[in-house]
């Protein structure tokens, strides 16, 4: 029975890791599939939008799938933040399928359910109006209730930014404080690895952070959306205004604090500067790796030479070069396909590789300005390499081109990387025409500036 349970858990984890769902991620350590970390990215158009919410999932190898695993929320600001009526500050998740809440008949756990259904059920709690999850909601006084709903949404939106995004990224990057400048040299040293040093680190002392690179890349995707959220929120609340305690919040199970969007905006910008500096450091570290002829430097150079050769027989004009002969920095030039909105365009795209590639995925940025719904205002591209080919740079380049050229993509709010372009692209017929005109103008300028 135990072996069958392990096989079932391993299969479910594998399916999730291969999934195209951009809002769920799972990981386990050292073959211990019974102890899983899961990340849920907050849904679009909710106060949880693009937040990073982590959960611990523990399976009992004797009982699963007859009984559900134990799930605990870990994004709680050390137990001080209750992100939902059903997600407590202690981390308890109240769901009928987990046996932690009494639901209607048929809502309880069954062996037909699994890890993905649990995560999707938790994600469904992160709605546009989470106050409705409170059991007494239907019996509440309507006028008073509407006021509470609005105030509850406001503080969840603030704490989603502050705790699930900003605090998480600051911890990853080793930066502190609240100023609109780049990290100080001392702070940069906190998260720098000097390739000239011989580092002997006990794995037991290193925190396990399986979603670190994913969150960094997604932060760069959603940076403009975070700023837009703050801009709108500043119109609704004032800095220093205290959070309102909800009727269902107890003294040890609440979300207390004050609004300070000015501070959050500054910290967001500082994180962005730190991530940009990190990409630049990869390039510097890459030079050292090239000189030392490390395995990764050799691997990337070999891939570069193979891809460059393959471009010679391609029907789409494109070219790649190494920047300063550094195998960790690639310069890709793409020429727009004829008879498309990109026709006549010439775009330079930079790929920065980490010395830890593929554990850390490349940072891709358009150096040529372009108005495109999958490209942020700073040139950051939202693209999806195949999950099982993360080490294959050619697959990354193909995914980059696909994201740029895709003419009729299905609507996916998780690709909201350029708020203005996204709104026009998925808006009315007139808005789509406006989008196409602005895209074409940027394409024409790219050829003129080349």
**Could you tell me which residue, 388 or 112, shows the higher pLDDT?**
112
Q: Kindly give the pairing relationship between strand 70-73 and strand 318-322.
A: unpaired
296 or 200: whose pLDDT is higher?
A: 296
pTM confidence score: 0.91
In tens, the pLDDT along 125-140 reads 999 999 988 766 555 5
pLDDT at 106: 60
Can you give the pLDDT at residue 136? 61
Residues with active-site annotation: 94
Cα(91)–Cα(78) distance, integer angstroms: 9
Query: Which H or E run includes 173?
Result: helix 168-173
**Which pLDDT belongs to residue 194?**
35
Q: Which uninterrupted H or E stretch holds 15?
A: helix 2-18
Non-local (6+) Cβ contacts of 61 within 8 A are 2, 5, 6, 9, 34
Kindly tell me if the per-residue pLDDT of 199 is higher than 70: no
Rounded to the nearest angstrom, the gap between the alpha carbon of residue 236 and the centroid of all alpha carbons in its chain is 26
Q: What pLDDT is recorded for position 318?
A: 85
Q: For CATH 3.10.110.10, list the domain ranges present in the chain.
A: 2-127, 293-449
Q: Is residue 29 predicted with pLDDT exceeding 60?
A: yes
Q: Can you identify the CATH homologous superfamily of domain 2-127? A: Ubiquitin Conjugating Enzyme (3.10.110.10)
Supply the pLDDT for residue 312.
84
What is the mean pLDDT of the segment spanning 138-161? Answer: 83
What mean pLDDT is reported for the chain? 89
pLDDT at 187 over 80: no
| Token pair for 118 | 């649990």
Whole-number pLDDT of residue 186: 47
Residues recorded for the chain: 450
Domain 293-449 has CATH 3.10.110.10: yes
Residue spans of alpha helices (H) in 334-426 = 393-405, 419-425
């Amino acid at each position: 029975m135990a072996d069958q349970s392990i096989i079932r858990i391993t299969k479910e984890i594998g399916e999730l890791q291969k999934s195209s769902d951009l809002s769920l991620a799972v990981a386990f350590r050292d073959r211990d599939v019974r102890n899983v970390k899961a990340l849920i990215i907050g849904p679009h158009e909710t106060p949880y939008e693009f937040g990073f919410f982590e959960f611990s999932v523990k399976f009992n190898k004797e009982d699963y799938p007859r009984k559900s695993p134990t799930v605990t929320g870990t994004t709680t600001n050390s137990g001080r933040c209750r992100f939902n009526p059903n997600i407590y500050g202690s981390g308890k998740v109240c769901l009928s399928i987990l046996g932690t809440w009494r639901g209607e008949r048929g809502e309880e756990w069954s062996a037909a359910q699994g890890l993905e259904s649990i995560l999707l059920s938790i994600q469904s709690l992160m709605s546009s109006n989470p106050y409705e999850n409170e059991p007494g909601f239907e019996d509440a006084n309507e006028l008073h209730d509407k006021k509470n709903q609005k105030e509850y949404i406001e503080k969840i939106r603030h704490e989603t930014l502050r705790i699930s995004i900003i605090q998480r990224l600051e911890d990853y990057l080793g930066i502190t404080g609240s100023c609109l400048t780049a990290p100080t040299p001392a702070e940069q040293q906190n998260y720098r690895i000097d390739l000239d040093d011989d580092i002997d680190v006990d794995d037991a002392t290193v925190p396990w952070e399986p979603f670190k690179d994913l969150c960094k890349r997604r932060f760069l995707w959603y940076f403009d959306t975070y700023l837009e959220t703050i801009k709108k929120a500043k119109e609704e609340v004032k800095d220093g205004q205290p959070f309102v305690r909800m009727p269902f919040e107890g003294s040890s199970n609440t979300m207390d604090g004050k609004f300070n969007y000015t501070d959050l905006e500054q910290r967001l910008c500082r994180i962005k500067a730190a991530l940009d500096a990190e990409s630049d450091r990869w390039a510097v570290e890459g030079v050292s790796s090239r000189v030392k002829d490390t395995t990764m430097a050799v691997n990337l150079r070999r891939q570069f030479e193979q891809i460059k050769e393959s471009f010679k027989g391609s029907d789409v004009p494109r070219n790649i070069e190494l920047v300063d002969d550094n195998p960790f920095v690639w310069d890709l030039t793409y020429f727009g396909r004829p008879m498309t909105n990109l026709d006549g365009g010439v775009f330079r795209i930079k790929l920065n590789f980490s010395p830890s590639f593929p554990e850390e995925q490349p940072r891709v940025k358009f150096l040529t300005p372009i108005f495109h719904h999958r490209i942020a205002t700073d040139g950051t591209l939202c693209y999806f390499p195949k999950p099982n080919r993360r080490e294959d740079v050619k697959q990354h380049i193909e995914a980059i081109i696909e994201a740029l050229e895709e003419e009729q993509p299905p609507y996916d709010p998780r690709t909201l990387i350029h708020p203005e372009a996204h709104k026009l692209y998925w808006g009315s017929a007139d808005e789509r025409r406006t989008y196409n005109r602005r895209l074409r103008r940027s394409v024409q300028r790219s050829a003129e500036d080349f």
